Every structure is written in structure tokens, then in C-alpha cells.
Amino acid sequence: MKIFLSFLVLLGFLAAALGGNFNQDFDITWGDGRAKILDDGKSLTLSLDKTSGSGFRSKNQYMFGKIDMQIRLVPGNSAGTVTAYYLSSLGSNHDEIDFEFLGNLSGDPYIMHTNVYTQGKGNREQQFYLWFDPTKDFHTYSILWNPQSIIFSVDGTPMRQFKNLESSGVAYPKDQPMWIFSSLWSADDWATRGGLVKTDWSQAPFTASYTNFNALACTVSSACPDNSSSSSWFSESLDNSGVERIKWVQKKYMIYDYCTDSKRFPQGFPPECSLA
């Protein structure tokens, strides 16, 4: 822990509650006008047509934080589309913490895909159905990332935890600041039923909507306060009820777990599967 704190002080990070203004907090990075910031910065939309998708990136880089975003996913026949919302650094040895929402035919459920990359290595996928229609209204998708663990949550319900198991030889993202990214794009070669269902471009443009971004986080600017209510997330972890909630959610809604895919790992599962 001393190494963590020294690292933060050296690089100069600030724990701050960042308000939800897309003009102030994000840059549209691609899409040639298909991404739009609306309502004086209170909301943002991404759109996808046959020519191009679109995306945005945070102005700040973060080194640990509690990130919330409310998203309303593409409605109707969204087969072949992917709405991605994630933290990532850059380069071949990048770290990354992923939400991806895989579209489907009208009436069929979205798949929420999660992954964690450390030093360029991912292959830690877990996938879930949701207990609501994510296209009807906004829902809050959260990433808590601190030195102890990464927790993925939906509307305050924890879905997945990736613990810091460095002491057992498992790499953990702690050395690279990350930006927040989001994009809407076509991946109909794999996204829906393994690519069997293609995007129906007659339904385009496809649109995903964003609002109420909030970050309690360390940004690349000045030192994190050691003790304050705004940085309680820095030491936050799941209590017993949270652990039980994750078990319940995963039993009821998880549809894929890399830690149970013996065909994919015939030589044995990754070490975190038995340690977590």
C-alpha cells in the first residue's frame, strides 16, 4: 500500500467529484457528426449507420475512481451493434476495464459483456442478461476501481468483482492512468449469436443515449487527499451482503464465465479463477 500512495503523490492525482457536463468532461473523437452533445452538456447521443459509428473520450485520465454513467441502449432490432463503455490506457500493454452491450433482435435480451485487461492481456470475459429492458429508460452502469478490487455494478447492484491478487502472481491494473471511452459500432461478424444474425441497416440510424455522468476519482492533476468523504471509494470493498448479492446475480443472470470454460482452457483455468 505504501507503494500505491507514493506513486499517487509522485504523479500528482486529485480525488474529485466531477459533475455531469459532457461539454466539460468529454471530447467527441470520431463519427463525423454522428455523436452529439445536447441540452447544454447534460446529455450525449451516439449514432451508427452503414457508413460509420461514433465515439467519445474523457478529457481527463483517471488513476482509480468510482465512475457512473447512465445509458439508454439502442432500441428495437439492434442485432450486430455493440455499445462499448470502458476505461482504458493506450498501447500494446494497456490496461482496460470493459462494459460492452451486444445488441439483439427485437424482443430478445441484450447481453452485457464484461472484461478486464492487464498489461495487454484480457480473456477474462463474463457475460450477463439484465433483469430489465435497457432500451426503455436510462440505467446506471458503474465501475469502482481502487487498489483492492474492480467492481462492476448496474443500478447499484454489484455484478462482478475482480480482486487484486498480485501477491499470488495475478497482474492487476494499478500503474497506468486510463481514459473513459464509449463508442457505438457494428460488429455483426460476432456480436449477435456468434455472427449468425447480421445488422439490418434498414433500421439505421441506431442511437444510444447518455446522461448523468459522475466520477469520484483521482485525475492526473494533483495529490489525492488521504482521508475525506469524497475519497471513501478508495478503500471501498464489498461487505458480506454485497458478496451474497454478486453470488445471487451470477447464479440467476450470468450466461458465460471464462472460469468455467474448460474447452477454452484445456491446460487449466487462469489462477484468479481458483483464488477469487
Sheet of 81-88, strand order: 26-30, 54-58, 179-186, 81-88, 96-102, 111-117, 126-128, 254-257
Asked if residue 136 lies in contact with residue 125, where contact means CB atoms within 8 angstroms, the answer is no
Q: Choose the catalytic residue: 96, 166, 244, 272.
A: 96
CA distance 134 to 153: 14
46/32 Cα distance (integer angstroms): 11
Q: Which residues is 28 bridged to in the sheet?
A: 56
The residue behind cell 478486464 is: 116
Is 96 noted as a catalytic residue in this protein? yes
Q: Is 272 a catalytic residue?
A: no
Cβ-based neighbour number of residue 190 at 10 Å: 12
What is the rounded (10 degree) CA torsion for 239, 245, 249, 250? 50
Q: Out of 100, 236, 244, 272, which one is annotated catalytic? A: 100
Annotated catalytic residues are: 96, 100
